[in-house]
Amino acid sequence: MTLQDLLSRLDNAQEDLRAAAAADLAHAWAGELFGSSARKVLSSAMTLVLDDPCAKVRIALAAGIAPCSDIPRGVLLALAGDEEEAAVAIVSYSPVLTDADLIDCLAHPSEKVGVAVAARSKVSPAVCAAIAEVAPPSAVVALLTNPGAALLRGTLVRLTERFSRDAKVRSELLHLAELPVALRHKLLHCHAETLVTHPLVLPHVQDEEEEREFLAEASDKIALKLAEAADEEGLAELIEHLRLSGGLTTRLLLRSLCCGQNRFFVNAMSALTGVPMARFTQTLASGRPAALRALLRKAGLPVRSHQVFVLAIEVARRRAGSFAHDLSLELTRQLTEQVLSELQDDGFSSETDIVAFLRRFAADIARQEARQVLDQHRQPALHAA
CA proximity to 231, closest of 257, 260, 267, 191? 267
- Residues 1-18, mean pLDDT to the nearest whole number: 84
Q: Which of 248, 276, 297 is where one domain is finished?
A: 248
Measure the CA–CA gap between 45 and 139, rounded to whole angstroms.
34
**Domain check: are 256 and 378 in the same one?**
yes
Q: At residue 149, what are phi and psi to the nearest 5 degrees?
A: -85, 130
What is the helix (H) or strand (E) element at residue 7, kind and residue range? Answer: helix 3-9
Cβ contact 201:195 at 8 Å: yes
Query: Are 325 and 197 members of one domain?
Result: no
pLDDT in tens, 176-204: 999 999 999 999 989 887 776 655 555 55
Task: Assess whether 253 and 339 both reside in one domain.
Answer: yes
293 and 197, same domain (yes or no): no
Predicted local confidence at residue 356, as pLDDT: 76
In a shared domain, residues 285 and 355: yes
Closest C-alpha to 60, from 30, 20, 96: 20
Same domain, yes or no: 253 and 371: yes
Encode pLDDT of 33-55 as tens digits.
777 778 889 999 999 999 999 99
> What proportion of the chain, given as a percentage, has pLDDT over 70?
91
φ and ψ of 123, to 5 deg: -125, 120
Give the pLDDT of residue 82.
95
Residue 204 has a pLDDT of 56
Domain assignment of residue 126, yes or no: no
Burial 290-328 (b: 16+ CB within 10 A, else e): eebbebbeebebeeeebbbbbbbbbbbeeebeebeebbe
The verdict on residue 214 lying in a domain is yes
Q: pLDDT category, 357, cuts 50, 70, 90?
A: confident
Residues 48, 10 contacting (CB under 8 angstroms): yes
Regarding whether 379 and 348 lie in a shared domain, the answer is yes
> 284 and 211 in one domain?
no
Residue (of 362, 370, 367, 371) closest to 341 by Cα position: 362
Q: Are 242 and 248 spatial neighbours (Cβ–Cβ below 8 Å)?
A: yes
Residue 258 has pLDDT above 60, yes or no: yes
Quick check: 140 pLDDT over 90?
A: yes
Are 236 and 269 found together in one domain?
A: no
How far is it, in rounded angstroms, from Cα 191 to Cα 172? 13
Of 142 and 312, more confident: 142
Count the residues in the chain: 385
- Of 5 and 95, the one with more pLDDT: 95
Please indicate, yes or no, whether residues 199 and 271 belong to a single structural domain of this protein: no
**Is the predicted pLDDT of residue 384 greater than 70, yes or no?**
no
In the prediction, which pLDDT does 330 show?
80
Task: Tell whether 76 is covered by a domain.
Answer: yes
Q: Which of 117-121, 161-165, 369-373, 374-378 has the lowest mean pLDDT?
A: 374-378
User: Of the ranges 312-316, 325-329, 340-344, which one carries the lowest mean pLDDT score?
Assistant: 340-344
Domain count, the chain: 3
What mean pLDDT comes out for the span 311-315? 88
pLDDT confidence band for 381 (50 / 70 / 90) = low
Domain end: 97, 121, 147, which one? 97
Whole-number pLDDT of residue 259: 84
Cβ atoms within 10 Å of 340's Cβ, excluding its own: 18
Dist CA 170 CA 176 (whole Å): 10
Highest averaged pLDDT of the listed ranges 10-19, 21-30, 109-118: 109-118
Most confident of 49-53, 102-106, 229-233, 250-254: 102-106
Give the pLDDT of residue 205: 62
Provide the 10 A C-beta neighbour count for residue 164.
Answer: 18
Q: Is pLDDT of 351 > 50?
A: no
Q: Residue 360 domain-assigned? A: yes
Q: For residues 215-239, give the mean pLDDT.
A: 91
pLDDT over 90 for what percent of the chain?
57
Q: How far is CA 244 from CA 26, 232, 239, 241, in A?
A: 58, 18, 9, 5
With 80 as the cut, is the pLDDT of residue 344 above it?
no
Whether residue 157 lies inside any domain: the answer is no
Torsion of CA 237, 243, 244, 247, to 10 degrees: 110
> By mean pLDDT, which of 271-275, 287-291, 298-302 is the weakest?
287-291
Tell me whether residue 151 is in a domain: no
Cα angle 12-16-17, degrees, rounded to a multiple of 5: 40
Q: Which residues contact 327 (CB under 8 A, 6 or more apart)?
A: 260, 261, 262, 316, 319, 320, 335
Burial class (CB in 10 A: 0-12, 13-18, 19+), 59: buried
Would you say residue 117 lies in a domain? no
The per-residue pLDDT for range 91-121, each reduced to its tens digit, is 999 999 999 999 999 999 999 999 999 999 9
Q: Could you say which of 42, 64, 97 is where a domain stops?
A: 97
* Helices 262-273 & 289-298 angle (0-180, nearest 10): 70
SS3 149: strand
| 82 and 36 inside one domain | yes
In a domain, 32, yes or no: yes
- Mean of per-residue pLDDT scores for the chain: 87
CB 169 within 8 A of CB 163: yes
Question: Is residue 273 domain-shared with residue 235, that is, in the same domain?
Answer: no
Which residues form the domain of 239?
180-248
CA distance 260 to 51: 72
- pLDDT confidence tier of residue 348, bands split at 50, 70 and 90: low
